[in-house]
Structure 1
Amino acid sequence: MEEKRVPVTMYAEMTPNPLTMKFVANKHLLMDDASVEFGSMQEAKGYSPLAEALFEFPFVDNVFIAGNFVTVTKTDNVDWDFIVMELREFIKEWIAQGKDILVMMPQGGGSKEEAVAVKKEFAPSEFDEVIIGLLNEYVKPAVENDGGAIDYVGFEDGVVTVEMKGSCSGCPSSTATLKGGIEQLLKSSIQEVKEVVALSV
């Protein structure tokens, strides 16, 4: 019996983070604004067969999947020139064969998520809805364009905490984006906001 193949086009795109490359497909991989990030083979096990397979490559350090793209962070001992074609073809082939991208959403079981849960619990605030609305409208599209994601964590004592994922996590320019862009936007819209910080795990 012939395997069913899906026609897939895919291109690789540089991100502001030099260690991260965004692989964009012409079809959706995850639905409904979902995004998922794995920092190791162990974290990906049982959740994302694609991420597990990508961690088989010795140079893959982090995998982030959202919408219609996969963002791969590499180790710094190898140049993109040598691996970008191989990764692009691998991900494209995986999707074309209709293999599973994500079988289950991680529910705080991974080490990164546990650290986040232990880190801090934020009580709901009256500004949550407004902040989320502003982030969704003005920040999310730009961040996703760069192969990352931003999640609102909480608001307390004038400080907005967000989590940067994908290419934005550990990116040199994400601090500038955070302080120059997001902080200015929220401060100008909500008087009570004094500062925006990234969740450190």
Structure 2
Amino acid sequence: MASTILPRSAMRSLSRATPSIPSIPSTVPRIAIRCLHQKTSPIMASRLQHRPSVSHWNQRIPNTVAGLGRRTLFIQTETTPNPDALKFNPNERVLPESIASPFLEYLTPRSTLAPPHPSPLAAKLLNIDGVTSVFFGVDYITVTKDNATPWAHVKPEVFAIITESMHSGQTIVNTVEDKAGESGQGGTELDSLAYDENDSEVIGMIKELLETRVRPAIQEDGGDIEFRGFEDGKVLLKLRGACRTCDSSTVTLKNGIESMLMHYIEEVKSVEQVLDQEEEVSLAEFARFEEKLRQQKGPNAAPSTVGKGSLDTVE
């Protein structure tokens, strides 16, 4: 295809015929420059009237990971019917889920080190002057003291030790192999109120009533209950925690548990508490002391406290 070559005269005439593009007035740049650099009044001040400057973007991102990892600890204390026992309720589980028993009880410093469930926390608590026993429920801790030590001297230290142990995440209860067959804690066996297919119909009914009607109330008071057997119409029970040394434990057994079981199960004739050897010795010593006081004050003197052999005991 041949190219067309225009003469120079035709090119000049074509350029004259094309309309010229109007130029931008020179006043516009001067106005824009004057608007950018002139001083602004406070009323008309605006960020749009100032020259933009370059700044580094430094937005802070909230540390949500650290916030999520922070533990919140709240421990509530409750009084119990036993004036020498206090219940501490942390907002987390106390006993590990691997332990089948719903409670562990430590009565001596040796029991806190003995298998199968030694406890560093119980060892520290029993090391406090005046503390006589430590009871671990599933989600609460009951501390019992002697009647000669006021709570004002014991409670702050107990509260500080429990708070430090819970907040640091230390193991509350350990599990070690019991090679010598030594059981240093109460409640290390299976739950005595758990269902057993070998139980008779009467024992099954007794366990169900104790589990649904009695145990929640006793746990609310900082203790627990064990079923020790059913013989000749007698239901053998063992109170733990705050209820173990409570003065009203006999009234609880007789007027509360015994009346309810006899009402629903006609085979039940009575309810008795099973005592450990140490408790039998202490009760015997207490009975001798009561008898000695009675002889000194006279035959018509009333017992000083509620206990076995006293006027308030229901036989």
**Residue deviations 1:19-78 (CA, integer Å, cap 9, x gap):** 111111111112466200010010111411111111111211001000111101112221
In the alignment of these two chains, the number of paired residues is 190
Which residue, 228, 238, 246 being the options, matches 1:171?
Answer: 246
Q: 1:39 is matched with which residue?
A: 107
SS of residue matched to 2:235: strand
- 1:91-110 alignment runs, 5 A limit: 91-104=162-175, 109-110=182-183
Which structure is higher in strand share?
1
Q: Which runs of no fewer than 5 residues in structure 1 stay unpaired?
A: 114-122
What RMSD, in angstroms, separates the aligned Cα atoms of the two structures?
2.4
Identity, in percent, stands at 35
Contact 1:51 1:63 in 2 (8 A): yes
Which residue, 208, 212, 230 being the options, matches 1:155?
Answer: 230
Compared CA separation, residues 74 and 49, structure 1 to 2 (3 A): same
Residue 75 (structure 2) pairs with residue 10 (structure 1): yes
TM-score by length of 2: 0.56
SS of residue matched to 1:104: coil
Contact 1:33 1:66 in 2 (8 A): no
Which residue, 136, 146, 154 being the options, matches 2:211?
Answer: 136
Aligned-residue offset at 1:85: 2.3
Contact 1:60 1:72 in 2 (8 A): yes
Contact 2:88 2:140 in 1 (8 A): yes
The CA distance in 2 between the partners of 1:29 and 1:183, in whole Å, is: 31
Amino acid at match of 1:65: F
**Residue deviations 1:75-119 (CA, integer Å, cap 9, x gap):** 222101222122112112111111111112897724676xxxxxx
Amino acid at match of 1:102: V
Q: Which runs of no fewer than 5 residues in structure 2 stay unpaired?
A: 1-68, 187-197, 277-315
- 1:29-68 alignment runs, 5 A limit: 29-30=94-95, 31=97, 34-46=102-114, 47-68=118-139
Contact 1:146 1:167 in 2 (8 A): yes
Which of 1 and 2 has higher RCO (CA within 8 Å, sep 6+)? 1
Is the radius of gyration larger for structure 1 or structure 2? 2
Q: 1:81 is matched with which residue?
A: 152
TM-score by length of 1: 0.86
Aligned-residue offset at 1:124: 5.2
Moved more, 4-13 or 170-179: 4-13
